[in-house]
Structure 1
Amino acid sequence: MQSLFKQVNGLHKTSLPYYSHLIDHCLSLKSFTHVKILHARLVKVGLNTHTFLGNRFLDVYFRFGSLFDALRVFDEINCKNIVSRNIFLNGLCRFGEFEKAQQVFDEMPERDVVSWNSMISGYVSCGLVGNAMGMFSKMQSSGVRPSEYTFSIMMSVVSCAGRAKQVHGGMIRKGVDLSNVVLGNSLIGMYGKIGLMDYAFGVFLTMKEVDVISWNTLIWGSHRSGYEELAVDQFVVMRSTEHSPDEFTISTVINVCCNLLDLERGKQIIAFSFKVGFFSNSIVSSAAIDMFSKCNRLEDAVRLFHELSWWDSAVCNSMISSYARHGCAENAVLLFVLTLRKNLRPTEFTLSSVLSCMSTFLPVEQGFQIHSWVIKLGFESDAIVASSLVEFYTKLGLINHAMKIFASMGVKDLISWNTMIMGLAHNGKLFETLDTFKELVSEGMPADNVTLTGVLLACNFGSFVDEGMSIFRSMEKEYGIKPAEEHYTCIIELLTRVGKLKAAMDIVAAMPYEPSSVIWESMLRACAIQQDIKITERVAQLMMKSEPQSCLPYLVLARAYEMRGRWESMIRVTKEMKHKGVKNVVGCSWIEIQKHVYTFKADQLQHHRGKDIYMILRLLSWEMEADCYIDNLTKWC
């Protein structure tokens, strides 16, 4: 390399190809130092301002990630052409410098399709889909013809049917060659992502040539859109063609069987993957573990996991989430520790799965340790992990920790907001719940049914009747959400809590579907408090029809008759309860002592270490009686 540098001073402007060769050589060596040396020598001979060489160094510095040097090179180029500006624009977008990129773009004397594509792809890569859509519209109105690459970018971000059809129609009007397999596959994927499978099949059937990716995209789109049987049918058809399924096909079909809870068909797909040698693929193995877990065959998932001769993050994540799904928190944490010992770097999904299964029965210190791992691995800014941390701390009642993490989150998605709102409501921070909801609305984030459930829950717990009724009545008009069962449950509990039983009954009567047992329980509790025997009888009879095995209406009605001295009615209700075989539900409580959970039932006379408990109670009774005797003796004296 040094021998090449020695020749630089003797070269002149006619040797530009040689300079370009030197730059290529530096890139092949991946040596940033050699690039800097070559650039310095060109500055020395005054060739750094040449447009061609400046463009080359501009591209090289962006490749090495040196934004400062790229800015300096761009300023040094005397005669900047459209290539110079396009390279500079693309590099700024890759670095997320969108304000500077927009300024350069606006100041460009001419723009070609590459210029527009750089801005559009840059916005898309950073998740600014709205900006990308705006640039695409401006591009068309400015008369610049979109390229195939432009349309492929737009197809990757389309999220609604109208926009998808506009993009497809634009491709037809611009004369884009839709027989191109890559573009055809992108169209199938676009329609599959938004659930327009009839359009996806239309594109597939009109393609002159298809490949494995075409079939995979069609099967995946059917699966994503909820047409699980259709996805399986396409897999069967695919096997009758010249195209053989690959690992992605198999993993998708296993996920389809998982959603269908079709264990037998899933086993057949797994057997097929063993036969063709795909089971060593991490994606296939992970999908198989998930399938067994979701089909309530955790023991098969565990057996399959232990039979693997290798571990990676994907299969460990599947196994950890399987343990979490079945409430095996200790197993999930233990496997997480084993992955650390095997030097398998946890992903954000690993940490999220472990945190989601952490319960109040496990030591709090374990959660703190996982939180420290989150910080150590740099995942504290990840929305999924941060939301899991917020949920973990709210479950433990450490709401201040949760609020601190939520406040420090840079990017908050709707899941993060919902987790915080629900956590605040369940931990009694009712005013904070409403304030967080107002902040969400002011941020322009669209609320969903979970958001409004959390807000109505806070209104319920705080007896905020006016706020609760206002939000409930404006759900469909303001937020486009029809009240679901959970929303009706919250508002009815709120009304019964404050004694507005008639208003609650009116809402129950107007419900578009049968009330749940929770709603009837709320009504019965309110009836018992207000001691309105007519409404109590009416609600109890309705609940007996909808929940025939529930003991609550019989008990409440019998208690109401007993309080009024209507003994014959009370006996009649009790006999009817026994005749129908309705059993009284026994309440229970539990406590953790030294990593063991002990359960105590209401009708249980003997508990764990029962003799010791009753002996202590007897000693306490004797002590209280002795103190009482001494006090009485003192007063008598």
Structure 2
Amino acid sequence: MYTFLKQTQGPYTSLSYCSTLLDHCLSQKSVNFVKIVHAHFLKLGLNTYTYLGNRCLDLYSDLGHINDALKVFDDISHKNSTSWNICLKGLLKSGQLGNACQLYDGMPVRDVVSWNSMISGYASNGFSSDALELFVEMQGAGMRPSSFTFSILTSLVSSPCHAKQVHGRIIRSGMDLSNVVLGNSLIAMYGKVGLVDYSFSVILTMKKIDIISWNSLMWACHRAGHHELALAHFYKMRDAELLPDQFTCSTLMSVCSNLRDLDKGKQVFAFCFKVGFVYNSIVSSAAIDLFSKCNRLEDSVRLFTEQDRWDTALCTSMISSYATHDLGEDALHLFVLTLRENIRPTEYMVSCLLSSFSIFLPVEVGIQIHALVPKLGFESDAVLASTLVHMYAKFGIIDDALHIFNETKIKDLVSWNTIMMGLAYNGKVSVTLDLFKELIREGMAPDRITLAAVLLACNYGSFVDEGIKIFFSMETEFGVKPGEEHYTYVVEMLSKAGMLKEAIDIVETMPYTITLDMWRLILSVCVIHGDLQVIETVAKEIMEREPQAPFPYLVLAQAYQMMERWESLVRVRKDMEQKCTKEFIGCSWFGMKNHGYTFQSNQLQHYGGKDLYLLLNLLVWEMETEGYV
């Protein structure tokens, strides 16, 4: 290195030699070396040369030293379009979108690279609408989009209609699919919006197909739920003698995860281990998810602990695995370790963590995690907002859940469903119905979950007329066929209102197999509202399906006792003693200091139970001494 620098003192100051020196800097990837070379350029007055300035500017930008890059940019006497584009690219790469916008507005001339850089910058920072507006402005300025421009646009589509519009614009621009990058982008775009048939149409018209094309097609099939089809095209890819890469293996393991096919997943994992892909974090995170979904959590933990280095993908997969298996404490512990390792959490990681919270973890911990959300800049994420709403509703803090929902700027149907179900379960039936009416006014079509929340609210609030009206108009007005949960809520609502005949009529005419839970539901209400004949009919249905269950015998015994039919009472109790062998013990549980405690009617099941009973006996003794008992 220093030999090169000494030679610059003599006749070796030509641009070609300086360019060779900068090439050496590029191969070294050392910012200190770049600074030494740049200092010698300053000493020799070469920093004002446009070509050398652009090269130094590009090196500083690639190495992440944007402040040094800006100094180089200011020193260039005659800046050309390349100078402006490199500086713009460096600002966007460093996350300085505001400064990049100012530089872009001040550019004397903009070429297609300038437009593409700015559109890509908006897209990568989550400003999709601004990126699309800039694309329209680009066309208005008479600038012809390139294949890279359209590749960026394909990542911004949000609906099937939008995807077709972008594809049509590409065709009108006269571009064919000889550009494999553009073709692959179209395949992924159609897969993103669920138009798998269009993905196949694109790949059939492509002149050249590479491994990325196959990966995009398999990912499109997997995303749309056609997992077997994704495997079939993997076999076709192998017939074409193309070797799988890390992304192929990651997609295949995700396919096996959704199929719950551990055997095929093991084969893919064995291949990854053989070729060394297992050390890739994307592949490892997919394998962790595979083992977790196939009920092999111990293998997920083992694979995670064997990793030399943690990253966001690995930690997110492991936290998600713990959350899936209701191991909230383990998920929280790993999240804390992730923060200590200076690994930036993702929206999905925080969402998985919050979804794992139950009564065994205090709500204060959830509130602390919620406090991180605005600090991490995730407050605009709709999925995370829905998770927070669900968490607060689960803990009964429904006012905070409603506040988060109202503050969410972009509300999708999942957001509406989450808050409506939470309100219904917490007894806010009127608010639930008001939100449903607001949803309809917004022009958003309710789905199965939305209508289930509405019927649940009608059930809890005893709004029989409104509930019946909504139930019978589900298919005609909203296009949703009533499911078992909808029938359950309506039957319970009618039963509690004393309309047993109507409830039984709906049960007998529904297009599903009548479940035991539904018969138990009717029988539990029959004790209050039903006559003996109805009780005997429903109890007989349950006894035939579950002869060892004591519930129908107990209800019958109570009914016979109320009717003073003593012989029938004795017969039922005798049958129960002979047939019912299971003993059901009532219990309650609560969480305190990250531990769950279970109380049963005949014992206390947790560590330290004996001490608690001693303390209770002491309190009883003191009460007796003071004369309170």
- TM-score of the two chains, using structure 2 as the length reference: 0.76
> 1:174-213, aligned counterparts within 5 Å?
177-178=176-177, 180-193=179-192, 197=196, 200-201=199-200, 203-204=202-203, 207-213=206-212
Shift of 1:219: 2.2
- Aligned: 1:599 with 2:598: yes
Q: Does 1:346 align with 2:345?
A: yes
Residues 1:475 and 2:444 are matched in the alignment? no
Matched residues in 2 for 1:352 and 1:70: separation? Answer: 32
Residue number in structure 2 paired with 1:363: 362
Alignment match of 1:612 (pick from 593, 614, 618)? 614
Asked which structure has the greater RCO (Cα within 8 Å, sep 6+), the reply is 2
Match of 1:633 in 2: none
Task: Work out whether residues 188 and 204 of structure 1, in 8 Å CA contact, stay in contact via their aligned partners in 2.
Answer: yes
Alpha-carbon distance in 1 for matches of 2:113, 2:238: 46
| Maintained 8 Å contact 2:119/2:131 | no
Residues 1:129 and 1:444: Cα distance change in structure 2 (over 3 Å): farther
- 1:334 deviates by 1.2
Q: Indicate the SS of the match to 2:388.
A: helix
Does the 8 Å CA contact 2:253/2:265 hold for their aligned counterparts?
Answer: yes
Equivalent positions of 1:3-18 (< 5 A) are: none
Matched-pair contact (CA < 8 Å) for 1:61–1:67:
no
- CA shift for structure 1 position 284: 0.9
Aligned mates of 2:253, 2:227 — CA distance in 1: 11
Alignment of structure 1 residues 137-216 onto 2, 5 Å: 177-178=176-177, 180-193=179-192, 197=196, 200-201=199-200, 203-204=202-203, 207-216=206-215
The answer to whether 1:446 aligns with 2:445 is: yes
SS at 1:591's partner residue?
strand
Distance 1:231 1:55, change over 3 A: closer
- Verify the 8 A CA contact 1:258 1:295 in the aligned structure 2: yes
State how far apart, in whole Å, the 1-side matches of 2:223 and 2:360 are: 37
Distance in 2 separating the partners of 1:335 and 1:27: 39
Answer yes or no: is the 8 Å Cα contact 1:492–1:507 preserved in 2: yes
Shift of 1:279: 0.4
- Conserved 8 A contact 1:62-1:70: no
Shift of the 62–480 alpha-carbon distance from structure 1 to 2, 3 Å rule, reads farther
In structure 1, distance between residues paired with 2:477 and 2:328: 40
Does the aligned pair in 2 maintain the 1:293–1:301 contact within 8 Å? yes
Q: Distance in 2 between matches of 1:347 and 1:181?
A: 31
The answer to whether the 8 Å contact 1:421/1:454 transfers is: yes
In the alignment, what sits opposite 1:537? 536
Deviation per residue, 1:284-317 (Å, 9 max, x gap): 1111111111111112211221122221121111
Which secondary structure does the structure 1 equivalent of 2:240 belong to?
coil
8 Å CA contact 2:498, 2:530 repeated in 1:
no
User: Cα offset for 1:322?
Assistant: 1.2
Name the aligned partner's letter for residue 337 of structure 2. Answer: L
**Cα distance, 1:165 vs structure 2:** 7.3
Partner of 2:310: 311
Change (3 A) 1:33 1:324: closer
CA contact (8 A) 1:55 1:84 kept: no
Partner residue, 2:427: 428
| 1-structure distance, mates of 2:368, 2:318 | 20
Alpha carbons 1:55, 1:87 under 8 Å: kept:
no
Distance 1:412 1:63, change over 3 A: farther
Whether 1:461 and 2:460 are equivalent positions in the alignment is yes
Task: Please give the residue correspondences for 1:488-503 in structure 2 after superposition, counting only pairs within 5 Å.
Answer: 488-503=487-502
- In 1, the alpha carbon distance for the partners of 2:320 and 2:170 equals 42
Q: Residues 153 and 487 of structure 1: is their aligned pair in 2 closer, same or farther, counting only changes over 3 Å?
A: farther
Structure 1 distance, partners of 2:605, 2:290, is 42
Q: For 2:238, give the aligned amino acid.
A: R
Partner of 1:260: 259
Q: Which residue pairs with 2:396 in the alignment?
A: 397
Match of 2:555, as an amino acid?
Answer: V
Q: 1:519 & 1:316 partners in 2: Cα distance?
A: 42
Alignment of 1:552-591 (within 5 A): 552-577=551-576, 583-591=582-590
Residues in 1 aligned to 2:47 and 2:335: alpha-carbon distance in whole angstroms:
58
Per-residue deviation, residues 513-555 of structure 1 (Å, max 9, x unmatched):
1233433232112211114112222222333455566443333
Whether 2:280 is the aligned partner of 1:281: answer yes
SS, match of residue 436 in structure 2 = helix
* Partner residue in 2 for 1:230: 229
Q: Secondary structure at the match of 1:236?
A: helix
- Decide whether the 8 Å contact of 2:128 with 2:156 is kept in 1: no
Please say if residues 462 and 497 of structure 2, whose CA atoms lie closer than 8 Å, have aligned partners that are also in contact.
yes
CA RMSD of aligned residues (A): 4.5
Q: Which residue of 1 aligns with 2:407?
A: 408
Structure 1 residue 417: deviation in Å? 2.6
Are residues 582 and 60 of structure 1, via their aligned partners in 2, closer, same or farther at CA, if it must alter by over 3 Å?
same
Q: CA deviation at 1:583?
A: 2.9
Give the share of equivalent positions with the same residue, in percent: 49
Q: Is the 8 A contact 2:186 2:199 kept in 1?
A: yes
2:254 and 2:530 map into 1 onto residues whose CA distance is: 53
User: How far is the alpha carbon of 1:182 from its aligned partner?
Assistant: 3.5
1:414-452 deviations in whole A, cap 9, x for unaligned? 333322222222222333323333333333443322222
Structure 1 pair 614–341 and aligned structure 2 pair: CA distance change class (3 A) = closer
Number of aligned positions between the proteins: 576
Is the 1:558–1:574 contact (alpha carbons within 8 Å) kept by the matching residues of 2? yes
The separation in 2 between residues aligned to 1:434 and 1:301, in whole angstroms, is 43
Aligned-partner Cα distance in 2 for 1:464–1:528: 22
Q: Cα–Cα, structure 1 residues 228 and 373, in superposed 2: closer, same or farther, change >3 Å?
A: same
How far apart, in 2, do the equivalents of 1:76 and 1:595 lie? 58
C-alpha spacing 1:310/1:429, structure 2 compared with 1 (3 Å) = same
Match of 2:484 in 1: 485
Distance 1:520 1:444 in 2: 38
Letter in 1 for 2:533: K
Give the direction of change, closer, same or farther, for the CA distance of 1:2–1:270 in structure 2 (3 Å limit): closer
Helix, strand or coil at the partner of 2:278? coil
Cα distance in structure 2, aligned partners of 1:185 and 1:586 = 60
| Amino acid across the alignment from 1:423 | G
Provide the TM-score with structure 1 as the length reference.
0.75
CA distance in 1, matches of 2:190, 2:85: 39
Deviates more, 1:30-39 or 1:491-500: 30-39
Q: Whole-Å Cα distance in 2 between the matches of residues 186 and 62 of structure 1?
A: 22
Separation (CA, whole Å) in 1 of partners of 2:458 and 2:412 = 23
Structure 1 pair 469/152, CA: closer, same or farther in 2 (3 Å)? farther
The alpha carbon displacement at 1:243 in A equals: 0.8
Separation in structure 2 between the aligned mates of residue 460 and residue 366 of structure 1, nearest angstrom: 33
Q: Is the 8 A contact 2:54 2:82 kept in 1?
A: no
Question: For the structure 1 residues 274 and 528, does the alpha-carbon distance in structure 2 shift closer, same or farther, using more than 3 Å as the test?
Answer: same
Q: Is the 8 A contact 2:155 2:189 kept in 1?
A: yes
Name the CA distance, whole Å, in 1 between partners of 2:151 and 2:88: 28
The answer for unaligned runs of 5 or more in structure 1 is 9-17, 43-51, 78-82, 97-120, 629-637
**8 Å CA contact 1:185, 1:217 repeated in 2:** yes
* Superposed displacement of residue 397, structure 1: 2.1
Check 1:285–1:87 CA distance in 2 against 1; reply closer, same or farther (3 A cut).
closer
1:471 deviation in Å?
2.8
